[in-house]
A and B are shown apart, each in its own frame.
Chain A
Amino acid sequence: MIRLLPYLLYLLLIAMHEVIWRDVTGLFFVALNLPAMIVAMVATYKSQTAAAWFGFLAGVVISASEPSLMGWHGILLAALGLAVYHVREKLNLESIYSKVLLIVGAVLFHNIFSGVINGTDRFFYTLWTFCLPSTAFTSVVAWIFFLFKERSVTAEKLKSVF
């Protein structure tokens, strides 16, 4: 049960983002794709079973306001988790940049297929105005996260700079 606690917290984080942070974390009209980022990160560090289940549950959580799309979003994020896991396994990622590149791919994948699931009629317009800016923004946030996670940036280093 304790092993499940972090995943529950991630789900809470996603719910909190959907309810409170979405407007706050948005940069002008560019939204942060936190669910895809968290699923990709879980897949980067955890097992494929965990990545798949967490992806599925994250999909269910983000589409709670639209019950008819729950299954699609669930399977999309589960597939995303699995895909990220297998890419990680095949490429044996070491550097932060390769991980960020993986996140870029994952978020772009999710943004594009979310658009397809939600039934976007102007695909290329959505790609340029939403998918790509959102991917770039989310990737920058992920990069900053990896800098701290991989201890490339620490409190001591920051103190020494200032």
Chain B
Amino acid sequence: MSQITSLFPRDWRNLHFTLIVFFSLLLIINVPRLNQFVSQTVVKTLYFPFFQLKNLFVEMGTISTENNLLRQKLAEANARISILQEAERENERMRSILGFEPPAGYSLLPTKVISVSYGGNRPVAAVINKGAHDSVSINQAVVNQQGLVGRIKEVMGDMSVVQLLTDPANRVAARISDTREMGIVKYRTGFGLMLDNFPVQGTIREGDQIVSSGLGGIYVAGLLIGQVEGVIRQPDEPFCEIELRPAALFSSVEEVFVLRSVNE
């Protein structure tokens, strides 16, 4: 017994050191599974929370980078979609233009609208990219695949100004497509496009198509102006008030045609 106690000094301090050396030796001689157990315990209790934290930071960094990349790609995709949508719209317009035939004796000069000027809240004039150099001259009718748009009011070298039907100063001699009864189409501020000078005794219904009559020498006969939207017959008035829905959408004109006589 005394031999055993002599191995462990009374001093607690030395017992501590002996224990440390003992545990170190146990770990050095690599007692089966002991090192593995200690290692796993240390990793699970001390390292694991920091591994998770590190992974979280790494993941956040990756997510942030990925997020920026995706945002960039999204912006690129949106831009591409906008371009494609614009191309699609242009394609649709071009398809509808393809089937558009000019009246007999006339040819179509395709032009692009480069600017639009407004009077109040509606467009009243448009500048197109063809002018005197392309044989455009004043008073030529301007149409698109929907119908009559206006007439050439001013001509420059490479551009011209189109007076739209929405300009109150523009008048078109017109007739009802079916009954051939006549009137004058003009734009009245606050009311819209109207058919004037149409007698109350005349035959007219909502939905009737109004076309140019050809009288007056500016507009070719048969160009679609619009449809009758409403007829108001005032008592004691010789003429009706006829509201029209224009065939052409003036707020979105982009491609128009100048009607040129083939003899010019």
Contacts and interface: CB of A to CB of B under 8 A. Distances in A.
B91 interface: no
Contacts of B17: 52, 82
Contact of B23 (A16, A49, A67, A74): A74
A20 B47 contact: no
Interface string B21-37: 10111111110000110
A74 B54 contact: no
B263 interface: no
B27 A53 contact: no
Interface stretch (B38-46, B96-104, B154-162, B178-186): B38-46
A53 B13 CA distance: 11
Contacts of A53: 16, 20
B35 A15 contact: no
Nearest to A64: B42
A71 B26 contact: yes
Secondary structure class of chain A's binding surface, majority of residues? helix
B50 interface: yes
A20 B20 contact: no
Residue of B29, B38, B46, B47 with most chain A CB atoms under a 10 A cut-off: B46
Contacts of A20: 50, 53-54, 57
Contact of A75 (B28, B43, B47): B28
B44 to A, nearest CB: 10
Interface string B61-80: 00000000000000000000
A72 B54 CA distance: 28
B24 A56 contact: yes
B118 interface: no
B51 interface: yes
B20 to A, nearest CB: 5
Contacts of A18: 47, 50
Contact of A71 (B28, B36, B47, B57): B28
A33 B151 CA distance: 88
A56 B20 contact: yes
A48 interface: yes
Contacts of A19: 47, 50-51, 53-54
Secondary structure class of chain B's binding surface, majority of residues? helix
Contacts of A74: 20, 23-24, 27
Given A53-B20, A74-B27, A15 B47 contact: yes
Contacts of A16: 50
Contacts of A78: 20, 24
B35 A61 contact: no
A14 to B, nearest CB: 8
Nearest to A11: B46
A68 interface: yes
Given A61-B46, A64-B42, A75 B54 contact: no
A127 to B, nearest CB: 25
Nearest to A23: B54
B24 A64 contact: no
A84 interface: no
Interface of A: 11-12, 15-16, 18-20, 48-49, 52-53, 56, 60-61, 64-65, 67-68, 70-72, 74-75, 78, 82
30 contacts: A16-B50, A18-B47, A18-B50, A19-B47, A19-B51, A19-B53, A19-B54, A20-B50, A20-B53, A20-B57, A49-B12, A49-B13, A52-B16, A53-B20, A56-B20, A56-B24, A64-B39, A64-B47, A65-B43, A67-B39, A68-B30, A70-B39, A71-B29, A74-B23, A74-B27, A75-B20, A75-B28, A78-B20, A78-B24, A82-B17
Given A52-B17, A60-B42, 7 more contacts: A16-B50, A53-B20, A56-B23, A56-B24, A65-B39, A74-B20, A74-B23
